[in-house]
């Protein structure tokens, strides 16, 4: 049995890496790794933000199965962990933020949250702290069992906190042309937790409010400021790339290197005004938000392979386990394994269906065709569903969108008037939503955070701009 290093970089869109065609040198290590790996060209998140995306990764279920659209829920059961345990894997995780304890503490063995052990929420060295923890764990691991080490990096998630050597790495705009309020919120420089100036004041700038104003047209963002944000986003990728390289070099010196699958994915992407908005977790399910990185390096098979077939995140862990030598996948995971087609460089004749469920919309892709429809998630409360409908209407997003990604990868030409192509996909999407009922054993419905834990979680989410 072989080991697995499973890395997930937050908010990393595929097309900002050189190995996916980007013009900047944001990812020299991953680009080199891709030349010796299998690269998934159409790898899709199951949602457009972290909580449901990670729950899907670690349960191999779509959001309408697991029902988790929140950060304060806890996964109680997963066929992934059951299979790893059955094959005696030593599981460990080194992650950035405390909400991963809610998601993973009952299904993943050892778990280090670096913001609690060696860093803090808004540290500029947070990315390096994850690599430090991973390297230390690899150096002291001397077990005779295979291991599965999960690492989470914050990647290009705003606000951008960068070590000094990356702060201006890709800057390309005149500082005088940049909106200084946006600089304060997106690129904070304080090194200690800010103190409220008055009772009840938030301890972090309200990024959530600012982004909401930007995305609803109430706050204009000039071209220079938009480019400045892209520059910082790209610098964050380069910082992450360098630190992932550190882990890989440490692994190469390890006795188990040739017996270890090294996989790098992202949980979702980030819209950078490609379709008029910034960020993720809002109404859009375009490629820049839901298409993710997928690089799988097997030291025993170092030829470059590009896989064009659409792949869902629910297939990732079963496939990595199969590559590691697990031959007896649980029945519900067998059909998710895509490794039997890894050597083929083009799509198979019967392309996979992949679905993506956001809080406001849902999407399906089959072959090159992709459909996006307004569909407020029914796991939201009635009040939140009503707010979702009002938001869709307010933003002018109540429309169907159909794209042929083979000829229109940037999703600019809406083909929704071609009903002969739209209707079958729409039926498949509605069927997916209708028949995928939540599995009651996946989430612990009775799980409650203590008051202190809830306060800590809310502070983390405010620092990331979710609240």
pLDDT at 350: 40
3-state helix, strand, coil in the chain (%, to 5): 40, 15, 45
Start and end residues for every CATH 3.30.1120 domain found in the chain = 359-436
Q: Supply the DSSP symbol for 81.
A: H
pLDDT at position 105, please?
Answer: 87
Helix (H), strand (E) counts: the chain: 16, 17
- Spatial CB neighbours of 40, under 8 Å, sequence gap ≥ 6: 294, 295, 296, 307, 311
Residues 138-159 as b/e (b if ≥16 CB within 10 A, e otherwise) read beebeeeebbbbbbbbbbbbbb
What's residue 349's pLDDT? 36
CATH 3.40.720.10 residue ranges of the chain are: 3-191+205-354
pLDDT per position as a tens digit, 71-115:
888 888 899 999 999 999 999 999 998 889 888 988 998 999 999
- Strand, coil or helix: 318: helix
- What was the pLDDT predicted at 317? 94
Left, alpha or beta for 411 (phi > 0: left; psi -120 to 50: alpha)?
Answer: left
Please provide the CATH number assigned to the domain covering 3-191+205-354.
Answer: 3.40.720.10
Residues of the chain with pLDDT under 50: 340-351
Asked whether 350 and 100 are in contact (CB, 8 A), the reply is: no
Tell which residue, 103, 69, 75, 73, has the closest CA to residue 376: 69
Closest CA to 39 of 192, 238, 264, 193: 264
Beta strands in 12-109 (DSSP E): 38-40, 43-44, 90-95
CA dihedral 352, 341, 60, 14 (to 10 degrees): -80
Residue 244, both tokens:
């992932």
What number of residues does the chain have? 467
pLDDT at 344: 40
Q: What is the reported pTM?
A: 0.93
Q: Could you give the residue ranges of the DSSP H alpha helices within 287-378?
A: 287-290, 316-323, 331-334
Q: DSSP states of 208-243 as a string? A: HHHHHHHHTTSS---HHHHHHHHHHHHHHHHHHHHH
CATH of domain 359-436: 3.30.1120
**Digit-coded pLDDT (tens) for 121-163:** 678 999 999 999 999 999 999 888 999 999 999 999 999 999 9
């Amino acid at each position: 049995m072989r080991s697995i290093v499973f890395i997930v970089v937050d908010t990393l869109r595929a097309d900002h890496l050189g190995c996916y065609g980007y013009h900047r040198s944001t990812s020299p290590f991953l680009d080199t790794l891709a030349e010796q790996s299998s690269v998934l060209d159409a790898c899709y998140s199951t949602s457009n933000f972290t909580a449901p995306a990670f729950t899907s990764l670690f349960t191999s279920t779509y959001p309408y199965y697991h029902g988790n659209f929140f950060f304060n829920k806890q996964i109680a059961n997963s066929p992934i962990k059951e299979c790893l345990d059955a094959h005696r894997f030593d599981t460990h995780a080194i992650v950035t933020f405390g909400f991963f304890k809610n998601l993973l503490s009952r299904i993943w063995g050892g778990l280090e949250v670096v913001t609690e052990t060696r860093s803090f929420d808004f540290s500029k060295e947070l990315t390096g702290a994850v690599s430090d923890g991973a390297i230390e764990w690899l150096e002291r691991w001397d077990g005779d069992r295979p291991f599965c080490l999960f690492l989470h990096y914050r990647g290009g998630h705003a606000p951008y906190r960068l070590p000094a050597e990356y702060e201006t790495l890709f800057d390309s705009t005149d500082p005088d042309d940049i909106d200084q309020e946006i600089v304060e919120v997106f690129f904070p420089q304080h090194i200690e937790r800010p103190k409220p100036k008055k009772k009840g004041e938030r301890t972090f700038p309200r990024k959530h409010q600012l982004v909401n104003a930007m995305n609803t047209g109430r706050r204009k963002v000039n071209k220079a400021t938009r480019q400045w944000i892209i520059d910082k986003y790209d610098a964050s990728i380069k910082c992450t790339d360098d630190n992932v390289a550190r882990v890989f070099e440490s692994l190469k010196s390890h006795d188990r290197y040739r017996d270890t699958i090294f996989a790098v994915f992202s949980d979702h992407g980030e819209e950078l005004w490609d379709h008029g908005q910034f960020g993720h977790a809002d109404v859009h399910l375009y490629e820049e938000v839901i298409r993710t990185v997928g690089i799988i390096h097997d030291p025993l098979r170092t030829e470059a392979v590009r896989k064009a077939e659409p792949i869902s995140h629910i297939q990732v862990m079963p496939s990595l386990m199969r590559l590691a030598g697990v031959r007896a996948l649980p029945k519900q995971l067998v059909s998710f394994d895509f490794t039997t087609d890894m050597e083929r460089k083009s799509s198979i004749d019967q392309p996979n269906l992949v679905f993506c469920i956001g809080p406001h919309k849902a999407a399906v892709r089959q072959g090159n065709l992709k459909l996006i429809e307004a569909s407020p998630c029914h796991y939201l409360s009635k009040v939140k569903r009503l707010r979702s409908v009002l938001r869709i209407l307010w933003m002018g997003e109540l429309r169907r969108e159909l794209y042929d990604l083979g000829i229109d990868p940037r999703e600019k030409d809406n083909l929704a008037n071609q009903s002969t192509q739209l209707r079958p996909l729409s039926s498949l999407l509605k069927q997916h939503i209708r028949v995928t009922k939540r599995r009651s054993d996946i989430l612990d419905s009775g799980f409650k955070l203590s008051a202190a834990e809830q306060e800590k979680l809310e502070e983390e989410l405010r620092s990331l701009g979710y609240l």
